[in-house]
């Protein structure tokens, strides 16, 4: 079964994200458990935790259908020690918030070298950051998202994801999320079925489908291999609808959150309905 949804707002409380997912007839959703552009956040209260868990039960969302995203400020590969420790502390807090909410996945962007250390050193630093965070938490899998490779961001090559996984000690708590826009901008073509087969054959060989924990389904305003991260609505960008129809028919993408981060929330319900209709 495909779990299909969108990254919904948690404005007014994390329990409101559940209601918003239900309103667009989503069978999966993503959310931020705190303000994604601030370092500090108030701890989750018992009342908020209870409201979230009750809403998930009421609207039939299990942890397997929910892919929370961490703060955009976190850089687990930061070249400077003080900033690295700040990011690690924030990442641990994000994992702990997921634990409290009964969630089992946390999606994160791997990190950036900021032109101060080389790629290999940065990838090792990211893996070590994950090790530190997993050691201080339990029950939540850290899910690396591939990036478009904008600026000094790493994670745009499947080899980057594989290198991070290799450096993580607890392989049972590391996974990946593939964003179609990021993959396309990073140089993995998805415009035809043949492109999709080739790209995901490479993913399977380099990373492995056993690590796939989620997908972000986005068309791209950015050009192929541009290393620019610009999302678009399905079928309106430079990728086109083929890949999304293809994914819906492939059982390797069953049982994981398939999340829209497309640019027009007003049509998420329609996009979700179309994706559901494309299943075999």
Is residue 40 over pLDDT 90? no
Task: Output the pLDDT for position 165.
Answer: 99
Say whether 58 sits in a helix, a strand or coil.
helix
C-beta pairs of 169-173 under 8 Å, 24+ apart in sequence: 169/131, 169/134, 170/131, 170/134, 172/141, 173/134, 173/140, 173/141, 173/142
Half-sphere exposure of 91 (CA within 13 A, CB side): 34
In terms of Cα–Cα distance, which of 187, 186, 89 is closest to 129?
Answer: 89
Looking up residue 211, the CATH number of its domain turns out to be 3.20.20.150
pLDDT band at 43 (very low <50, low <70, confident <90, very high): very high
CB 185 within 8 A of CB 225: yes
pLDDT in the model for residue 37 = 83
Integer distance in angstroms from the first to the last C-alpha of the chain? 10
pLDDT at 45 over 90: yes
Q: What confidence tens digit (pLDDT) does each residue in 176-224 have? A: 999 999 999 999 999 999 999 999 999 999 999 999 999 999 999 999 9
Query: What is the predicted pLDDT for the residue at 280?
Result: 78
| pLDDT score, position 38 | 87
Q: What percent of the chain has pLDDT over 70?
A: 100
Q: What is the pLDDT of residue 149?
A: 98
The residue segments making up the domain with residue 156 are 3-277
Segment 222-232, tens digit of pLDDT: 999 999 999 99
Q: Could you tell me which residues come within 8 angstroms of residue 184 by beta carbon, excluding any fewer than 6 positions away?
A: 190, 220, 222, 224, 238, 239
**Count of the separate structural domains present in the chain:** 1
Predicted confidence (pLDDT) at residue 60 exceeds the cutoff of 90: yes
pLDDT tens per residue, range 75-123: 999 999 999 999 999 999 999 999 999 999 999 999 999 999 999 999 9
Handedness of CA 253, 58, 269, 223 (dihedral sign): negative
Hey, what are 179's tokens? 């964003």
């Amino acid at each position: 079964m495909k779990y299909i949804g969108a990254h919904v707002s948690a404005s007014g409380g994390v329990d409101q994200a559940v209601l918003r997912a239900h309103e667009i007839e989503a069978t999966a959703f993503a959310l931020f458990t705190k303000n994604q552009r601030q370092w500090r956040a108030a701890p989750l209260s018992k009342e908020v935790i209870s409201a979230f868990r009750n809403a998930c039960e009421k609207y039939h969302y299990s942890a397997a259908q929910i892919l929370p995203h961490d703060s955009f400020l976190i850089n687990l590969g930061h070249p400077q020690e003080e900033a690295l420790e700040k990011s690690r502390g924030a990442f641990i807090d994000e994992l702990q918030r997921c634990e409290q909410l009964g969630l089992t996945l946390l999606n994160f962007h791997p990190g950036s070298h900021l032109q101060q250390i080389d790629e290999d050193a940065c990838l090792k630093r990211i893996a070590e950051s994950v090790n530190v965070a997993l050691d201080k938490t339990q029950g939540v899998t850290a899910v690396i998202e591939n990036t478009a490779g904008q600026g000094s961001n790493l994670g745009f090559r499947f080899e980057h994801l594989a290198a991070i996984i290799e450096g993580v000690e607890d392989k049972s708590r590391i996974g990946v999320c593939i964003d179609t826009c990021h993959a396309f901008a990073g140089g993995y073509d998805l415009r035809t079925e043949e492109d999709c087969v080739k790209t995901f054959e490479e993913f399977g060989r380099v990373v492995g489908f056993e690590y796939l924990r989620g997908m972000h389904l986005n068309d791209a305003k950015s050009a192929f291999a541009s290393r620019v991260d610009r999302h678009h609505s399905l079928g309106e960008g430079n990728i086109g609808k083929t890949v999304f129809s293809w994914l819906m028919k492939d059982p390797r993408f069953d049982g994981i959150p398939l999340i829209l981060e497309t640019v027009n929330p007003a049509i998420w319900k329609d996009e979700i309905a179309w994706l559901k209709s494309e299943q075999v």
